[in-house]
A and B are shown apart, each in its own frame.
Chain A
């Protein structure tokens, strides 16, 4: 019995780009356990919305006992979160999931869109040499904060930020190299990374997304197909919330 749903105090909430918010909450018990790639279950204040919203940890400060999350308004739940201000409270549980495997190998960190925030916590915790590749639609956010942790390569669909095109285009054009890839972002991006890693013989860890109900591994809502029979499910699929959200790209079928 170690997990609880806590009523966390909001320490700050800022709009950092169009519809993108940065929220810091007081959650000492979560902050001291949190690892890059893990997420929290956030509950809305609307009792008609039963399910928790999974949001990645963007940063955790064990000493200050705080957790930062950066999220985009995607619907009513995230809109309700964005209306909260310092001093309000929010129900949260976590940390959930497994997080990235931190290796001592030169790394390529790839964040696409709202998949960028969890890469910040990873960039801070990963000691190996790293190149950070960030993909945007047409508006930049959070990229300044990556500066202390490695070389940054940017790409945008619109072409107004860094290379025009996808993160994969940018990696090829800038000649980015490394021994391991860590990525989070939309599924088409992760698919491209999966193919690239297989071609290049690189190890890749990707963070997946799926609709969740329980968020803790009990309901089997959030599965992803696997190449091999999964140890827990005994079929070719695995629970993203409990056995992921981060997977070795070579083991999952997207």
Chain B
């Protein structure tokens, strides 16, 4: 391969996102070609550049800036902020969520607080609008927290995301489809089970039913399979019996799972 073609692959090679075959193409080439090899070497050498740390005074400057900014703002701020609404926000603030989601949320809290205290008119006629806005922002914030946590590398954080989604009586559509996706594809059995548990509370929504019932055929874990079968029995979907009849035809099914499915079928008929 020519250097130009290798050069096109290098950025992905740096990032480690090349397919296995292309990976070895690059490696074979750089073993032969000094120019391309030096490019790889210099990329790697960049990691030698030191991590710089802000001086200690920087945090103080930040605090001073913040306080100056807020002093400037407070003249305009409204005094009317119902205690129940504040309770809602602050109890949410204290809830244990993952660090990343947390900082994401903080930003939105900032947005919210800014909208609320900073730039709105102070007339009480605007209060209803403000409260509505606050609810929307709070909902968006929670949604963002759950969605971002479900994307985390660590199963523990994804688990937290799932359990956080349980706090809502209403399931946001995006959160719901994220939970269904988690139920189907998450690498951890624990997380899949938790997602199923969270979804099971929203059986009144037809799409939740569909997501759960569809998940059965793809599950490999006996634990999750049994939990799905039990839920299908509990919900008594019209097509549950047919789904289970198809399911027990699956070759190499775990005997305990097959037994459970047969038992569920007998209860459904």
A-B complex is real: no
